[in-house]
Structures are given as C-alpha cells and as structure tokens.
Structure 1
Amino acid sequence: MDGGIGLISRRGSLTSTEARDAVAAETAALAGLAATIDQDGIYPGAQLRGLGDAGTYGLHLAAHSKLGRPSLIDAIEAMAVVSATCMSSGFCVWCQDSAGWYLEQTENAALRAKLQPDIAAGTVMAGTGLSNAMKALSGTEEFRLRGKRVAGGYLVSGILPWVSNLGDGHWFGTMFENADDASHRAMAMVQVGQDGVSIKQNAHFVALEGTGTYAVLFRRAFIADDQLLADPLGAMVARIRPGFVMLQTGMGLGVIDAAIDLMHEANRTQAHCNTHQRFGAGEATDKVSAIRERLATLAATPLERDRDYIRSVLQARVDVSELSLEATQSAMLHWGACGYIHGSPVDRRIREAWFVAIITPSIRQLRREIAALSAS
C-alpha cells in the first residue's frame, strides 16, 4: 500500500499493474483471517477500510481513481485479487464499488459530493440493496419497499431480507415503489440507523458469513429528497446495470484464480493421477483468459445500451459463474479426500462458487433475460 501511495505523490497516478499490486499488498492482511471470516462470520472492518486506503474502491470512479482515469476493468481485477484470497471480502468490495457506481451515475450532484469521496476512500462503508428491486423490475418479485410522498421526501416502509456490507452508520442504495402509483419508482441512498431504518440478522448461510448481511426494516422512514439518486427512476437502471453486473465478475474471477492455484498445488504430489482429469488448471486458465479479454472490451463502454451489448454483458456474467462452478469442482477432484474435509481450502471455494452462481442476477435469471433479448 505505501509503495502505491508514494508513486501517486511523485507521479500523479498509478499504472494498472501498480494499482493491483497496491490492492494485493493490502489484501495480504486478509490471508490469515479468511478461514475465521468464513467459519465464524467475523466482519473484517479494519481490513476493508485498509483496502480503501489502497485505492480499491475508486478505480471505476472519475473523481477518485488512482489511475488518473476511471477503469471498470481495473476495479473488476482489483476485486478478483481480493476474492482470490477471501471471497467474503471480495463480495464486500463489490458492495462498496456498487454504491460508488450508483453515485457516479446519479444526476444528484450534491449527494454524490457528500457520499462518494468517503465511500471511495473506505472511510464510510456502503452496501447495495437492489436484489429485490432487480427481481421486481424483471417481473419475478413484487417491490418490498413502498414510499408515500410527503413534503420534502418519502415515508418508506417494508423489509429488505438481505443487504450486505452493513453496520451502524453504513449507507446503501435501494429502490422503492410509490404507494399511490405503482408505476412510479425511485432510488435512494439510505443510512443504517437513520430514523425508521434498523437492521437485524435473520439467517446463517453456508458461506459468505463475514459480510455484514442483515435484514433491513423500514418503519415509515423519512427518505429526504436530498437522499434520492433518481426520482422517477427513469434511465437510472439502464445507466447502472451493465457496470453493476460486470463488477460482479470480479468475485468469480478471483474464485477461479484460487481454484487454478489449488489444482496446481494438488499436482505437486498427485500429478500422476490428476493428469487424467478431463478439466484441469490448463483448461481453466485458457477459459478464464478468454473471458477476461471479452470483459476488458465490454467494460470499456459500460454506459452502452445496445441490445447485443447488454446480451454480451449478461452472457459474460453467466460464463464467469459457470466457470467458477467448473473450476472449483475440478479443484475438489484434484484434491480428493483431502479436499473433502470441513474447512479445507477447497471446501470454502466450492461454497463461494455457489454464491457467484446465485447472487442477483443469478444464472437462472440471467439465462431468462438472455432468452428474452434473443427472442425480441
């Protein structure tokens, strides 16, 4: 981290390699904690703030990138670096990055100026509460939050079952439906602990426990106009969604990289058996390299709205998710019984890959949308 900051002071900006090296140096602090985070559900707040110091959360943001320019692909690869060590923490990076991305695309410049600098720096932590909203907008769920228009804002009520990277004072982005007009939706930044907004832990997961994941309860919470990212929602979803989806690939790429390393590790003693595997480190490396090339092209134009472009973005997310599953399963087969032990590195990676496949939008949601885009 210090090397990166020193380079900035001398030259003004980092190269992509230097930026990733700075993230990797800070990520080293997570290596010894990864098993505890996974098994005990410890939220690594200090380490996540350290990643902010390293510039992790600002790489895709115009005013805060240590590259001197916004780069979505560098944000994705930084997330992959973290996820290769601890995907729980990589998921928190995605949450933080997404909140910064919403602020990047809002027309509410005052809200951006208020929150984005601290979110990019990691001095304020933030999450994303769009799982329900994305499903509702695609017609597979109802909106769980409804807001009544009042002077100066909305009174919002409802429950979001799972929002991550949360704690007292953390912020998150979410959407709600107008209680008097279901066709009118709005998007806002909300702070945990503001009047009417509380959190409660309501589930334990097979992985990703150390991610500050809670149910969020809205009890006539006053969401002021100055908290609104978009009202009405308008084109906001079209602006944020490609970047939102592509950023998720950073988690999967990290898990794939870790699975490849596990296969190489197994081969140090079991190569005589593993050479007969149908899918190994070489095949996984070739596949992930090809996906990375496609992502680099797609990430260069995240505001594009062409139908074929959107379909390609969604397909890239599917491909990363499927390769995460394939690579971690192969890592288990490479390790054999040694991997089939609770708490083994392979055990954790298998469970992390499942999460990559089911996070909203999940593989099944993505395939549904790809089919609809292909048919129209």
Structure 2
Amino acid sequence: MTMPLPDALNRFLEEHALSLDTDASQASALLPALGASGLLKHGVPLALGGEGGYTIDALDAITAVAEKSLAAAFVFWGQRAFIEYLLQSPNEALRERWLAPLLKGESAGATGLSNAMKFLSGIESLQVQASTVANPFAPGHFLLDGQVPWATNLRPQGFVVAAAVERRDGEAPFIAALPFDRAGLQRSDDLDLIALRGTHTAALRLTRLEIEPQDVIAIDARAWLPRVRPAFLVLQCGLSIGLAQASLAAAQQHGAAARKVLGEPIQQTQAELAVTVATLREGLYTGQFVTDPVPLFQARIRLAHLALQAVQLELQSCGGRAYHRDQPLGFARRWREAAFLPIVTPSLTQLQGELNKRAAKAAVTA
C-alpha cells in the first residue's frame, strides 16, 4: 500500500508535475515543499529531529512522491541520501551544522558520489584531488581541485554537496562535505536535460577549495562507502517503484478496451514488482546488502526494467490517446521519466558489469 502524501504536497505535485519535468519554474519551490511535508524526517532518529523509524520508511516516502513526479522524487532522493551520509558519519560537528536545515528543506543536500560509486567498483578514478595544506596552525586542512560533472539538488539559494576525494600523498581517499559558499567552488548553469529540468542539476568546478576536519564525512572512503551504499541504492529504487506503480495504475484505469488482452501482463508485472520490493525491504532490514550487494544490484536492475515495462503497458492500454497533448494522462511525462532510470548512476550497464565481474571472479575461485 502506498504511503499517503500530506495534502499540501500532494496538491503541489499534482499541479506542477509537468513543470518540474519540462522547466525550472518550480525548482526553487520544490525542496521547501518537501521539507514542509515532514517526509524528509522519515527514518531519522527522534533524538536527531526526525520522525524515527527505519531507512525503509524513507524508501516508502520517496516511492509515494515518485508516483506523482520523478523529478520531485529525484530531488527527494538526493536530499535524503545526503541526510543518510550525516547519519552514518562519525563527525558530530558536521551533523549538528547541517542536519536540521536539511530536514526542514531550508538547505539542499547533493550526493555528488556518483563518481565515488564507480570508483568503488573499479570503473573510474576519483575526479577530485586533495593537497595537504603546509601550515602547522591548520592541521588536517586540504586544498581540493577537480570537478563534479553531475549533481542534483544544487539549489542556488544554498546547498552542501558530498564529494569523494583522492589524496595526492597516497593516503586513503575520503568523503567531504562542500558548502556552496566556500571560496573555490563554482557551480555551472543547470544542465540542458531533456527532462527532470526542475531538479537544479548542474556541474561543479573546484579550484584550491580549502576544507578542514569539520568538513569530513568519512576519513576512509573505501571502508565507508560499502556501508552507506545499501541506503544509497535502496532509496534510489524508490524512483523505479513509484513510476512503475503510477503507470500500472494508469494502465488499469484507462485500458478498459484492452483489458482482456493486457489484464494478465499487468497482473504479472504487479506481482513481480511486489516480490522484488519485498526482497529489497528484507535485504535492507537484515543488513545483508552490506556484505553481499549482489541481490541489491539485481533488484535495482529489475526494478528499472519493471518500470519501463509498466510504461509500455500504459502506452498499449491508452492507445492513441497517449499521443494527444490535450489528454491529461501524464503518459508523455512518465515516458520521459522512464528513459532516465537506466542511466542514473550507477547505471544499469555499470551494475550489470559489476555483476559480470563478480561472477567471473567466483567462477575462477570455484
């Protein structure tokens, strides 16, 4: 059963779902709307200003938003993923500085760790490098240079972005939180995307950006990333789940004439979706995905395929009406949204490559 959305947020998303996909006119209003709804607090301990519960509750909230707007859910995911980084960071000073405004939607959090997740799988090297500041009065300070080619939720009014950093001295790479107003951080204009244009997605350039120990999320990226990756990917799965549920509901609602033909495949897709979501929830709850990420990678791939399949079923059930711009079906938006799911990092190609690599290694050692 889908989590009900607060009335104000539900009205906002119903009114602006198309705009959030096609332009940036509502981009600045989106995060405050999410903050006011209280949904960002799901899965955050009461003692830290949250609603309590578990990370799976945040997945349910992202799923509910994705049923209305994938652009809104993508921003939600970025914000909630950064909140999760703070929850799993040993840096209490950093958490005290940022958690409250992030939970309220007053500041934006951007994950910026797409490159890091590829690095963890050996796909690419880190794109931000750190040089130690040679100053005995500033121990633990670094100067950062490099780029973050793609990050979402870089709200011009204020944001903090996570970045994985390679140390030029050969020590372990680390994860840092970079505030928007720090000297040396330059944000590009919003990227010219074909959809999800209301998400404040842009690139960042770092030039001799100085950070201190209070800016460090995790001192050892290689040890920390596998622990946070399950939440990163599970929360991301809410995008596929919500879109699939929305398209399947539309297929049932608008496909009366085609119901005899499409009824069975719609039911089969719904059943497979339910099984995959149950696997996802169990793996997150038990902690299995920390030590064995393979089922998580498989679920992420399968959910994206199910969302694409659901959109196809919606198209077939609606028929020619889906191609009429004057029909309030929402199909064209969901079609564009579905095209994004295979490429959001880690992409389906990258996940499948990682599965292939692990399978080959297992075959050698067997």
1:198-277 to structure 2, matched below 5 A, reads 198-201=186-189, 203-267=191-255, 271-277=256-262
Give, in whole Å, the separation in 2 of the partners of 1:64 and 1:214. Answer: 30
- The alignment partner of 1:357 has SS state of coil
Q: Deviations over 1:163-207 (max 9, x none)?
A: 1101232111111111232x6311011111211111112631221
Q: Which residue of 2 aligns with 1:173?
A: 162
Residue 135 of structure 2 corresponds to residue 147 of structure 1: no
CA contact (8 A) 1:143 1:176 kept: yes
CA contact (8 A) 2:172 2:221 kept: yes
Q: Which amino acid aligns with 1:362?
A: S
TM-score norm. by structure 2 comes to 0.89
Q: Between 224-233 and 208-217, report the one with greater CA deviation.
A: 224-233
Residue 287 of structure 2 corresponds to residue 299 of structure 1: no
Offset, 1:23 = 4.2
Going from structure 1 to structure 2, the CA distance change for 1:230 and 1:93 (only over 3 Å counts) comes to same
Offset, 1:342 = 6.0
Q: Between 168-177 and 21-30, report the one with greater CA deviation.
A: 21-30
CA contact (8 A) 2:187 2:203 kept: yes
Q: Which residue of 2 aligns with 1:289?
A: 274
Give, in whole Å, the separation in 2 of the partners of 1:132 and 1:43. Answer: 28
Give, in whole Å, the separation in 2 of the partners of 1:326 and 1:186. Answer: 39
Going from structure 1 to structure 2, the CA distance change for 1:246 and 1:65 (only over 3 Å counts) comes to farther
Give, in whole Å, the separation in 1 of the partners of 2:202 and 2:35. Answer: 22
Structure 1 runs (4+) deviating above 4 angstroms are: 22-25, 64-67, 341-344
Q: Which amino acid aligns with 1:172?
A: V
Give, in whole Å, the separation in 2 of the partners of 1:303 and 1:281. Answer: 31
Q: Which amino acid aligns with 2:344?
A: I
Q: Which residue of 2 aligns with 1:157?
A: 145
Q: Between 331-340 and 249-258, report the one with greater CA deviation.
A: 331-340
1:1-376 to structure 2, matched below 5 A, reads 20-23=3-6, 25-62=8-45, 63-64=47-48, 67=51, 69-150=52-133, 151=138, 152-168=140-156, 169-181=158-170, 184-201=172-189, 203-267=191-255, 271-277=256-262, 280-302=265-287, 305-307=290-292, 310-341=293-324, 345-374=330-359, 375-376=361-362
Give, in whole Å, the separation in 1 of the partners of 2:189 and 2:260. Answer: 45
Q: Which residue of 2 aligns with 1:12?
A: none
- The alignment partner of 1:330 has SS state of helix
Offset, 1:66 = 5.2
Give, in whole Å, the separation in 2 of the partners of 1:106 and 1:342. Answer: 47
CA contact (8 A) 1:174 1:187 kept: yes
Q: Deviations over 1:39-72 (max 9, x none)?
A: 22334333422322322112122245754x3311
Q: Which amino acid aligns with 2:348?
A: I
Unaligned runs of 5+ in 1: 1-15
Going from structure 1 to structure 2, the CA distance change for 1:363 and 1:92 (only over 3 Å counts) comes to same
Give, in whole Å, the separation in 1 of the partners of 2:287 and 2:70. Answer: 24
Give, in whole Å, the separation in 1 of the partners of 2:286 and 2:76. Answer: 21
Q: CA RMSD in A?
A: 2.2
TM-score norm. by structure 1 comes to 0.87
Percent of aligned pairs with the same amino acid = 28
Going from structure 1 to structure 2, the CA distance change for 1:42 and 1:179 (only over 3 Å counts) comes to farther
Give, in whole Å, the separation in 1 of the partners of 2:146 and 2:319. Answer: 47
Give, in whole Å, the separation in 2 of the partners of 1:303 and 1:222. Answer: 38
Q: Which amino acid aligns with 2:161?
A: F
Q: Between 158-167 and 118-127, report the one with greater CA deviation.
A: 118-127
Q: Which residue of 2 aligns with 1:3?
A: none
Going from structure 1 to structure 2, the CA distance change for 1:113 and 1:258 (only over 3 Å counts) comes to same
CA contact (8 A) 1:43 1:211 kept: no
Unaligned runs of 5+ in 2: none
